[in-house]
Amino acid sequence: MCGIVGYVGDKQAYPIIIKGLKRLEYRGYDSAGVSIGNKDGILVLKEKGKVADLEAYAADRDSTGSIGIGHTRWATHGVPNQVNAHPHLSGDGKLSLIHNGIIENYDSIKQTLISKGHTFKSDTDTEVLVHLIEYFKEKEQVNLFEAVRLALNHVVGAYAIIVMEQGINNEFIAARKGSPLLIGIGKGEYFVASDASPIVEYTREVVYLGDGEIARINKDEELDIKTIANMSKTPFIEELELSLEAIEKGGFSSFMLKEIFEQPKSVIDTLRGRINPETKEITLGGISDYEQKIMNADRIIIVACGTSWHAGLIGEYLFEDLARISVEVEYASEFRYRNPIINENDVVLAISQSGETADSLAALELAKEKGATLLGICNVVGSSIPRLTHAGSYTHAGPEIGVASTKAFTTQIIVLTLMAIKMAHKKGTITMKKYHEIITELELIPEKIEKILKKNDQIEKIAAEFKDATNFLYLGRGYNFPVALEGALKLKEISYIHAEGYPAAEMKHGPIALIDDEMPIVIIATKKGNYDKVLSNIQEVKARGGRLIAIVTEGDKTVKELADYCIEVPDCLDELSPLLTNIPLQLLSYHIALMRGCNVDMPRNLAKSVTVE
Ligand code: M6R
């Protein structure tokens, strides 16, 4: 939800900011803008559309200056247009501000400011904030650092902001609460961004600004950080592990395709160092102090959103089936508002690629208040969820930039599997034979995924047959029911075709009415699990003329006779089958979206990191 970048130093700020915004564009892409400070004042350039549109708009402008801030927007308050694009200026035009988040009490602040003579140009909450800072600066006759602090004391909501001031070309102020922000430290220069991708090219030394902290960032001085409550903080400098190659397309036409094809490697990275090659013992360092707590928990409550919620459902099957621990899987956004019963013996596990999803964070905050143990499974190292939780495990999938989650989902399932079998082993709820069987199979997953990826051409041909469909039904049972949900989500979010995922047996309770000879039905019918039952479901679809695409186990002959198209996946334990069956569904959505002319990396209305409620 919005990406922000700032630079102050001796280099030209504009190209650094534009490059940074392109890296952050996955966070929002309905408008973009920059403010550049130079001897003439603050130059503000904004445009509706993508960063490339801003570049075109700014092409013949003089953007010289060695301090600047930039923003790529995902609209919350106010339609995406040039006026509502960031940066926003104070009434006197001397302050310029960019913001990621939502100021919840913006309307009451706005009314107060209007009563004091302020006028507003945009519909945004952000413009209200910059006016509020201006108000305190004038009223209290303080510097910008202090004015920002005073203003933020009156703000309810989430924000990551950078504010710059006309005539001060060596310093700006950044602050955050609830939205991510990190500061890269160079030699006589600083970089500020929503994530590390705009920074990694210039420096590896970073400070993750804490919640409720404000930084005065002066190119010639050490970082000066304090809290909103006016307590000084010593900056904690960390080393970035991210590589530049990881955030580039590396020869692929899109990040989504790159990330789909990266999955064998991502799985290897997720497993790396976690299975002892001799004893096959699992070590999940991040949760080792909490294993007892998890084993003895009354329940594990999984909170997540979107694709991560689907991974959570697979986690439920794994934990209950293997470790006999009771699990509830909750949409984070619903959980927090339904007065849930949580106690100290509950473990609340948040699953999130970004580690920044506002609803998941809020669900964790609630669970924290009730005394539960908080765990996280996240991909982005150092993000807010790992900072909030007591313990957790990273997926180590590397940066996922395509808005549609692919490798994050696969690696979340890997971590959930490791956790579940670790617990099952400790509790003695599975035999050693079963334990070794699962470990052996896990280690084979990368090469099996590799095999499925070789079917890309076949899947592309199937996609061509179905690209004009207006509705899809995805069916699966048991471990593959969440895969059906995920397949449907993937298709709708990138191709804009309506799709629904259903447990195959539920079809007869309603969705069967949708089936006619126009309707494509994707069904997961692998050999293990409820194969015979799924066969009956296939018959039911055929009897109504539906067009069937089946995901089957290699060598399957029965389904081949019934389905219009079959995509084979290697044989695999039922518990691990989602790791394979999900891959062809990603490719199917990808090709259909591409054939329909959709932007697979930046689907309309979406953003990668949903940092608003
Ligand atoms: O970063 P998170 O895993 O917390 O994000 C959750 C959802 O917003 C995310 O999975 C979303 O549904 C994706 N666009 C799905 O591809």
Is the CB of 373 within 6 Å of ligand 1?
Answer: no
Is the CB of 269 within 6 Å of ligand 1?
Answer: no
User: CA end-to-end span of the chain, whole Å?
Assistant: 11
Quickly state the pLDDT bin for 241 (edges 50, 70, 90). confident
**Residue from 354, 483, 490, 609 to probe ligand 1 pocket by mutation (most atoms less than 8 Å from CB):** 354
The CA–CA distances, whole Å, from 424 to 18, 164, 418, 438 equal: 50, 54, 10, 12
Distance from C-alpha of 178 to C-alpha of 75, rounded to nearest angstrom: 17
Distance from C-alpha of 361 to C-alpha of 187, rounded to nearest angstrom: 35
Closest CA to 393 of 264, 290, 261: 290
Is the CB of 567 within 6 Å of ligand 1?
Answer: no
Is the CB of 360 within 6 Å of ligand 1?
Answer: yes
Cα(406) to centroid of ligand 1, in Å?
10
- Supply the pTM of this predicted model: 0.85
Residues near 509 by beta carbon (within 8 Å), at least 6 away in sequence: none
Quickly state the pLDDT bin for 176 (edges 50, 70, 90). very high
Quickly state the pLDDT bin for 336 (edges 50, 70, 90). confident
Residue range 211-234: mean pLDDT, rounded: 97
Residues of the chain with CATH 3.60.20.10: 3-246
Q: Which atom of ligand 1 is nearest to the CA of 609?
A: 1
- 3-state secondary structure (DSSP) of residue 130: helix
Residue range 315-320: mean pLDDT, rounded: 97
Residue 427 has pLDDT above 80, yes or no: yes
Residue 481 has pLDDT above 80, yes or no: yes
Residue range 66-71: mean pLDDT, rounded: 98
Residue range 179-185: mean pLDDT, rounded: 94
Residue 209 is predicted with a pLDDT of 95
DSSP string, 13-61: HHHHHHHHHHHHGGG--SEEEEEEEETTEEEEEEEES-HHHHHHHHTTS
- Token pair listed for 330: 């909750």
Q: What is the pLDDT of residues 121-145, one digit of tens each?
A: 999 999 999 999 999 999 999 999 9
* Dihedral sign of CA atoms 211, 214, 217, 223 in order: negative
In DSSP terms, 549 is beta-bridged to 522, 565
Is the CB of 169 within 6 Å of ligand 1?
Answer: no
Residue 525: its H or E element: strand 520-525
C-alpha dihedral over 73, 76, 81, 84, to 10 degrees? -90
Supply the residue whose CA is at minimum distance from atom 14 of ligand 1. Answer: 404
Residues of the chain with CATH 3.40.50.10490: 249-453, 455-599
- Burial pattern 211-241, b for ≥16 Cβ within 10 A else e, equals bbbbbbbbbeeebbbbbbeeeebebeeeebe
**CB-hemisphere CA count at 13 Å for 373?**
19
Cα(369) to centroid of ligand 1, in Å?
25
- Token pair listed for 523: 């069904």
What fold characterizes domain 249-453? Rossmann fold (3.40.50)
Residue 436 CB neighbours (<10 A) = 12
Q: Which residue has the tokens 């140009």?
A: 121
Distance from C-alpha of 588 to C-alpha of 452, rounded to nearest angstrom: 12
**Residue from 179, 195, 308 to probe ligand 1 pocket by mutation (most atoms less than 8 Å from CB):** 308
Residue range 15-36: mean pLDDT, rounded: 94
Is the CB of 122 within 6 Å of ligand 1?
Answer: no
Residue range 442-450: mean pLDDT, rounded: 98
Cα(488) to centroid of ligand 1, in Å?
14
Is the CB of 195 within 6 Å of ligand 1?
Answer: no
Cα(179) to centroid of ligand 1, in Å?
16
62 in Cβ contact with 45 (< 8 Å): no
What fold characterizes domain 455-599? Rossmann fold (3.40.50)
Range with the poorest average pLDDT among 21-35, 67-81, 95-109, 237-251: 237-251
Is the CB of 404 within 6 Å of ligand 1?
Answer: yes
Class level of CATH domain 3-246: alpha beta
Residue 512 is predicted with a pLDDT of 85
pLDDT mean across residues, the chain: 95
Quickly state the pLDDT bin for 382 (edges 50, 70, 90). confident
Residue range 314-341: mean pLDDT, rounded: 95
Supply the residue whose CA is at minimum distance from atom 8 of ligand 1. Answer: 306
Q: Which atom of ligand 1 is nearest to the CA of 305?
A: 6
In DSSP terms, 524 is beta-bridged to 551
Is 121 catalytic? The answer is: no
Cα(191) to centroid of ligand 1, in Å?
27
Cα(195) to centroid of ligand 1, in Å?
16
Supply the residue whose CA is at minimum distance from atom 7 of ligand 1. Answer: 306
Closest CA to 162 of 132, 134, 207, 193: 193
Quick one: what percent of the chain has pLDDT higher than 90? 86
Is 407 catalytic? The answer is: no
Is the CB of 254 within 6 Å of ligand 1?
Answer: no
Residue 483 is predicted with a pLDDT of 98
DSSP string, 180-240: --EEEE-SS-EEEESSSTTTTTT-SEEEEPPTTEEEEEETTS--EEEETTS-EE----EE-
Residue range 27-36: mean pLDDT, rounded: 93
Residue range 106-112: mean pLDDT, rounded: 96
- Report the chain's C-alpha Rg in angstroms: 25
Is the CB of 354 within 6 Å of ligand 1?
Answer: yes
Cα(309) to centroid of ligand 1, in Å?
8
